[in-house]
Structure 1
Amino acid sequence: MTGDVDQDAVLRARNVLLGSGRPTPREEVEACRVLARVSPAAYLPRLSRALVHLGYGDVFDELPQARLALFEEAAEAAYALDASDPMRTEVLLKALDSLQNHLFVIGRRAEGLALREEMAEIGRGDLEDGRGGPAWSALELWARALAEEGRHREAAALHEEIVRHARPYGPQSGGAAWAVLEWMAEAEAAGLRDRAEAATRELVEMERSVLSSDRRTSRSLLLFALLRLAELLDGYGEFEAASAAYDEAGELLAGFAASGDLSPGAYLFPYWAVLFGLSGRAPELPAPGRSAPAFGAEIGKTTPDVRERYFAELPALRAAVDAPALDADLAERVLAHRRLTVRSALHAVHRRGYLFLEPVLPLFEEGVALARRLYAEDAAAGSAPLARALFDRASALTAGQRFAEAHPDFQEALALRAAQR
């Protein structure tokens, strides 16, 4: 093969890569293209990575087709690696990951879905061989795609498989907690009651376990898991068990109000947002044939096309809440307002991280005010919506570490819930 390559070009390429100066991304790609023809086993992996790195450069932000060509070439380089090469799976999955994401960005969803399915098959082989790494991500990507397409039973089965590989959990089980959370969400969406409840209880016990082994961990994570368990049990008609979960969450919050919680870290805010989004999933059911976010995952992990459309509908939701016609049906307005609040909260956490609370707290307050109006007009019809609005505001304030304000809301919501039984 070396006879087909200009030896001066080979020498120049080696000088670029081995010289004292660091090559630019484009220089590295050009050099690796030459050397991959001479020593494919040594340079194809580097070429694939270099193409991905170059493709993410700002210069291609306005050149989607040029970026696509680079990601396609990166995948071709990875495919060309010998099947026996131990690096092939990792290099290939990383190249395909960039390619599939860009396909969703440019509106070629069907191709992106097909690529995710292929990646899952590649990743499953690595998991069966006892390896993890990018293989985990490949299966998660496909499971989320299935969820977005409304194929919840398949997604639940795949997330259960991921959880099975993740067990037993270590003392630092953050990643495993996310895996259980996604399994829980898809089992619930698929109507698999026993699995959904088992997964939710497992999530609660995981947070207990982490607390028992590391007291520096925020207890708010356990509180949010308990709230989700209580909501789920309430929905299943297991009112006594739900009450126990609510009471435990209330005790935690009372402690926070008295003495505070430990530093939450970056993990807390997306964790709260996912669980809050799950509590509002029912009214968000999409029309047949239309994709929706996978509500068990962070919204940032939703495919770019679905996420963009989900947030693009916020102004229309605001307009619908403010429509004069809804004043005639306050109950309907309360429901519409909660849809707006859930989406706005997810958007705020996605865009602003720990600063999420400031832009959305007025929405939570507005939701409580609307629910109080409904309760004042018809206590029977308004009791549950008011409890829901108060629980919502309490959980948001807790995520924002404003415990003294959250606790009275939570107590009032518990009293309303008890009066309904």
Structure 2
Amino acid sequence: MRAEMLAIGRTQAEVSGNSAVQGLEVWAAGLSEEGRYADAADAMTELVTAIRPHGPREGALAWSLLAWIAALNDAGRFDEALSAFEIIVEMEAAEAANDSGPMACHLYSLIGYSQMLDAHGRGEQAAHVRQDALTLLTELADTGERKTRSGYQASFWAVLLTMSGADSDRPAPDVPRPPSGFEVMRWSPDTTQRYFDSRHALREEVDALASQATEDPDRHLAELVRLHRVLTVRSAVYWQRTHLFVERVGTLFDDGVSLARRLSQHDPVEGPRTLARLLTDRSTFHTATGAFRPALDDFRQALSYLDEAN
């Protein structure tokens, strides 16, 4: 059906002379769910090439850029993905500077960019980007957002959270996975249901692993931290559009940081970086709820564990 929709879109684009083909983004999401990452990246590249000259379009371009970045990264086109991330960082910076977009979205893009840089061995550049994020978050903690806005920035955060959590998540083989970089509303219904239903089994697995990690941290603590992060990300995406968001998700981020502190004490080599990641997760969660001062405190702690504190 998505292929048929795309074929109709191409015909309409040819008749109208419009370079932006309707149906490309939905097609790319389906390709990504099926693990056809190279094809998804090609589709999103075609779409972004057509729509980018028209500017941010009141924030609409940002969603396509996120999907493009994720598709390029999943396809192994890492340099292109990082270049695409630069585009969204610069766009969100300009939008925030002229009060056309939230400062929080600029912050999320900076943090997401730094995490992708780290993932691909560009730690020095990532550290510089984190300093830009620190400056921006310090301003948010001091003054708040310059304008009151709708809550779409929480959805923006949730998309970037799933992208950053992809390295921790290990979906079952031969099962469609959520398309990284896309909002939940773009996922197919069966994929969405499977992803969210999995929270219950994950909760049971985390609880069972907790006692094992207490008895034998060498074997189980790192895996417990990883699995708990998967549960936290899936729960955050599930609850972020509801009034129970803070109540249902806040304790998960707190518990994740506590587990990571245990790991940091147990494993002084890898533990501190993991703790920095979990503190950064909680910092962005606080930002999404408007608690900018706790967000700044967490982010400063994260930088200290990365030896990047001023």
Question: What TM-score, normalized to structure 1?
Answer: 0.68
- The aligned amino acid for 1:374 is L
1:15-48 deviations in whole A, cap 9, x for unaligned? xxxxxxxxxxxxxxxxxxxxxxxxxxxxxxxxxx
1:277-331 superposed Cα distances (whole Å, 9 cap, x missing partner): 1000123343332100012111122100010011111011011111133432211
Query: Which residue in 2 is equivalent to 1:266?
Result: 151
Match of 1:186, SS?
Answer: helix
Q: Which residue of 1 aligns with 2:288?
A: 399
* 1:130 paired to 2:20: no
CA distance, structure 2, for counterparts of residue 259 and residue 289 of structure 1 = 48
How far has the Cα of 1:349 moved from its partner? 1.7
- The partner residue of 2:2 within 116, 131, 135 is 116
Q: 1:332 aligns with which of 223, 227, 231?
A: 223
1:375 and 2:270 matched = no
Q: How does 1:307-386 map to 2 (within 5 A)?
A: 307-323=192-208, 324-327=211-214, 328=216, 329-350=220-241, 352=242, 356-386=245-275
What is residue 30 of structure 2 aligned with on the other side?
145
One-letter amino acid of the counterpart of residue 256, structure 1: L
Where do 5+ consecutive residues of structure 2 fail to align? none
Partner of 1:413: 302
Deviations 1:194-235 (A, max 9, x none): 1101111111111122234x3253111100001111001111
Which residue is 1:163 aligned to? 48
State the distance in 1 between where 2:228 and 2:245 align.
18
> Cα deviations across residues 111-154 of structure 1 (Å, max 9, x unaligned)?
xxxx1111112212333443379x53x21111100000011110
> Which 10-residue stretch deviates more, 139-148 or 173-182?
173-182
- Aligned-residue CA RMSD (Å): 1.8
- Counterpart position of 2:124: 240
SS in 1 for 2:240: helix
**Residue 59 of structure 2 is aligned with which of 174, 185, 189?**
174
1:242-283 residue CA offsets vs partner (Å, 9 max, x unmatched): 111110011110111111113241320110000011000123
Q: Residues 180 and 199 of structure 1 are in contact (CA less than 8 Å); yes or no, is this contact kept in structure 2? A: yes
Q: Distance in 2 between matches of 1:224 and 1:346?
A: 15
Contact 1:126-1:132 within 8 A present in 2 as well: no
The count of residues paired between Structure 1 and Structure 2 equals 301
Is the alpha carbon distance of 1:322 and 1:285 closer, same or farther for their aligned partners in structure 2, counting shifts above 3 Å?
Answer: closer
Note if contact 2:89-2:106 (Cα within 8 Å) is conserved in structure 1.
Answer: yes
Gaps of 5+ in 1: 1-114
CA, structure 1 residues 355+316, in 2 after alignment: closer, same or farther (shift >3 Å)?
A: closer
In structure 2, relative to structure 1, the CA distance for the partners of 1:240 and 1:274 (3 Å cut) is same
Query: In the alignment, what sits opposite 1:252?
Result: 136
Contact 1:172 1:210 in 2 (8 A): no
- For the residue of structure 1 that corresponds to 2:168, the secondary structure is helix
State the percentage of identical aligned residues.
39
Alignment equivalent of 1:303, drawn from 169, 188, 196: 188
Counterpart for residue 81 of structure 1? none
Q: Secondary structure at the match of 1:289?
A: coil
Hey, what's the Cα distance between the residues in 1 that align with 2:73 and 2:239? 25
Q: Using the TM superposition, give the Cα deviation of residue 164 of structure 1 relative to its aligned residue in structure 2, in angstroms.
A: 0.8
Structure 1 residue identity aligned to 2:119: G
Higher Cα Rg, which structure = 1
Deviations along 1:77-129, one digit per CA (max 9) or x if unpaired, are xxxxxxxxxxxxxxxxxxxxxxxxxxxxxxxxxxxxxx111111221233344
Q: Using the TM superposition, give the Cα deviation of residue 417 of structure 1 relative to its aligned residue in structure 2, in angstroms.
A: 1.3
Separation in 1, partners of 2:297, 2:232: 21
Q: What is the CA deviation profile of residues 40-62 of structure 1, one whole-angstrom value per residue up to 9, with x for unaligned ones?
A: xxxxxxxxxxxxxxxxxxxxxxx
1-structure distance, mates of 2:130, 2:301: 12
Q: Which residue of 2 aligns with 1:21?
A: none
**Runs of 4+ deviating beyond 4 Å:** none
Cα distance in 2 between the residues matched to 1:141 and 1:332: 34
Q: Output the CA distance in 1 between the equivalents of 2:120 and 2:281.
A: 20
Alignment correspondent of 1:276: 161
Deviations 1:67-86 (A, max 9, x none): xxxxxxxxxxxxxxxxxxxx
